[in-house]
Amino acid sequence: MKLRRAPQRRRSEHRLANVTRELVERRAAEVKRRAFAFVDETDVISRVSLAELDRLAAGWTAALQEQGVRPGDRIVVVADSGAAWCGAVFGALKAGAIAVPCPPSLLPGDLAAVVRICEARRIVASTAAQRIVATTEAAPPVIWLEEVVPADRALAAAVGTFETVTDDIAMLLPVSGADGSMRLAAHTHDSTLRGAARSRHWLGAGR
């Protein structure tokens, strides 16, 4: 699967844009601002501030880089949405990698197709997804979601953000094709930021 931009367009022609920097880092100093509210299976609501999410993302960036992940690598994230999921996705984007979020309910064959199509460098998975990951053919090394902790303030300040540009791919989202085959829809850093801006405008999200 070819993931690079068209060769006739030079990198210098694009402006810098990174989802993690724009949505998390630049607002992290506002310690009272709440980033997300999550409801678990027992209807318990937990809230995570942008400052907490910033440290969690930095912890994931450091962990991924220690595992040899480089800008442009694809990271498949198999977990339900929650604070840890957000930290892994934002951490991957901060490292310049491409996040490929997948629900734990995905069938093993479909997950194998996602891994094959995007040429995944690593899988990040919750322990709840152990069974599906274990039965996925040709799976790359796995990093368990529960094993990575938020960075302390010193590490969070030291972990840099890769300078992605507007047309760099941020995420690949699994979709089912008309023939039932698994496909991946590409979202750039620019299109993801535009979607976040629309959510703030229409839904008041992130204010």
pLDDT tens per residue, range 55-107:
999 999 999 999 999 999 999 999 988 889 999 999 999 999 999 999 999 88
Quickly state the pLDDT bin for 9 (edges 50, 70, 90): very low
Whether the pLDDT of residue 146 is over 50: the answer is yes
Per residue in 150-161, pLDDT tens? 999 888 889 999
Q: pTM for the complete prediction?
A: 0.86
Give the span between the Cα atoms of 85 and 63, in whole angstroms. 14
- Rounded to 5 degrees, what angle do the CA atoms 109, 88, 47 make? 115
